[in-house]
Chain A
């Protein structure tokens, strides 16, 4: 059962009024413009044991997305495709309002919105994840872990998911008849992707639209619209989230703004992956040189950090 929240994040009335009056003048308490995202940091390959992962810091919101590929059976209606499962955990570290336990409606909504943004547009090339047609396929488990909540969890999670998917690799699997041997120490290649998708959440207060609301802004918003934007400039999903209402022109203005911002965010994700891959290979080369000359025998996985 869904209940009107009675324990929402609370900010002093005076502060809320200030945030609103500033927004009406076109400025934000943080000094950001209405169409500016907060500073975005992306660390890929953050979890060595995952097949793909990314840590995303959007302002003070922190999220990890982990991708694991496991053997499974295909859905009966798509026997020749791999499967995707998206789950989200709002970890109790993230907010005084989060309690341990099964995912609540907000976590379920977040996971399902991200799932839909990837599924219908076929962001992942699931046709290439079949090992034995109709019987054994790769299941792509996407687990979103919200570590610290400072607003706009959906966009932070969607960016982390995209970065994790783009850096994910398919483990080596040998098929012998009905037998499959998986060797996770080796990979056959990157996870096959068709499209890149991110969500852009646009908040509305009075007649004013703003992107990437922080947690304090979220408390004063009338409502928000989550728009999934693909790299071929189509709308890959929508979700009005929150109690308020929107008129038609507002919706059209929001989708237009989201298309623009989505393109920018996808470019940032691409660039940060490029830089970290380059740095990783440079690192690898130096390490090899060092090992060759010193033969220290020290080995360790390295994480590469990039910032916008």
Chain B
């Protein structure tokens, strides 16, 4: 691991970031849906070098049955990092971080799934981080929401995630691993863009109330941009299905 004393310059003299992006610029984003044959819905999403696969199974009977709820479907969510996804091999056993992230990701998706339509059922969301380069939880949420839509599960909106941060005193959009490691703050945000509802909000780092408001605004703008791509990908898939008919 690199020592903290060897902190690279995160904002260059020309005002651009270490990878040449403007402060309010996203990494190149790629999305695909229906990438798995067996899952009811799936998606592969890339934010720069961060690559996440999400699969949805269900609604189906939960195992064990007694965990079901009589008035709605339960959501089961696992966020997991593949052993080869990090610089040093990560043990496949779940870490405390992965347990916490599984919870906050589930809680970010709960508000949009119309779970009352499937009492006693389970909707299972499996997220695999294939390559980690910062922003894995927010990429995961974008992917999981696409996979839910791809599975045909009724949702109120999509959920879109992006992490903003403060690096060398500047509030920047879609931080990568280097910016996360050496920056002053990392703030993952996810929202249902059409509903204008924030469903995930975390902050690791320190911000003044003014910086926080600026960061939240920047995140919401980034979310709208990513949301457009999400909708486009889903639309393209269903147009193709129509043509095939």
Contacts and interface: CB of A to CB of B under 8 A. Distances in A.
Interface of A: 1-4, 6, 76-79, 105-106, 108-109, 111-112, 116, 120-121, 225, 230, 233-248, 251-252, 255-256, 259
Please report whether the interface of chain B is mostly helix, strand, loop or mixed according to DSSP: mixed
Contacts of A238: 187, 201-203
B103 to A, nearest CB: 4
A20 to B, nearest CB: 18
Contacts of B217: 248
Q: Which one of B97, B102, B185, B197 has the greatest number of beta carbons of chain A within 10 Å?
A: B197
Contacts of B75: 3-4
Contacts of A120: 184-185, 204-206
Given A105-B103, A241-B107, A252-B213, A3 B206 contact: no
A247 B206 contact: no
A244 B68 CA distance: 20
Interface residues of B, number: 52
Given A105-B100, A245-B192, A259-B209, A240 B203 contact: no
Contacts of B191: 245
Interface string B45-82: 00000000000000000000011110010111110000
Contacts of A248: 196, 198, 216-217, 220
Contacts of A240: 104, 107, 198-202
A235 B201 contact: no
Interface of B: 1-4, 66-69, 72, 74-78, 96-97, 99-100, 102-107, 110-111, 115, 184-185, 187, 191-192, 195-209, 212-213, 216-217, 220
B161 to A, nearest CB: 12
Contacts of B220: 248
Nearest to A111: B96
A106 B2 CA distance: 32
17 contacts: A2-B105, A3-B106, A79-B3, A108-B96, A108-B100, A111-B96, A112-B96, A235-B207, A235-B208, A237-B205, A239-B203, A240-B198, A240-B202, A245-B192, A247-B197, A248-B217, A256-B209
Please report whether the interface of chain A is mostly helix, strand, loop or mixed according to DSSP: mixed
A111 to B, nearest CB: 8
A277 to B, nearest CB: 29
Nearest to B123: A4
Contacts of B104: 109, 239-241
Contacts of A252: 213, 216
B205 A244 contact: no
A240 B187 CA distance: 12
A28 B106 CA distance: 30
Given A1-B78, A2-B106, A248-B220, A237 B197 contact: no
A251 B198 contact: yes
Given A238-B203, A251-B201, 20 more contacts: A1-B78, A4-B74, A6-B66, A78-B4, A106-B103, A108-B96, A109-B104, A111-B96, A121-B206, A225-B201, A234-B206, A234-B209, A235-B208, A235-B209, A239-B104, A243-B110, A245-B111, A245-B197, A245-B198, A251-B198
List of 9 A-B pairs having minimum Cβ-Cβ separation, nearest first? A245-B197, A238-B203, A2-B102, A4-B74, A243-B110, A240-B201, A245-B111, A2-B103, A1-B78
Nearest to A246: B198
B77 A1 contact: yes
A242 B107 CA distance: 6
B43 to A, nearest CB: 19
B176 to A, nearest CB: 17
Contact of A237 (B78, B106, B203): B203
Contact of A234 (B67, B187, B208): B208
A195 B69 CA distance: 45
B112 to A, nearest CB: 8
Contacts of A235: 203, 206-209, 212
Contacts of B74: 3-4, 6
Nearest to A110: B100
B101 to A, nearest CB: 9
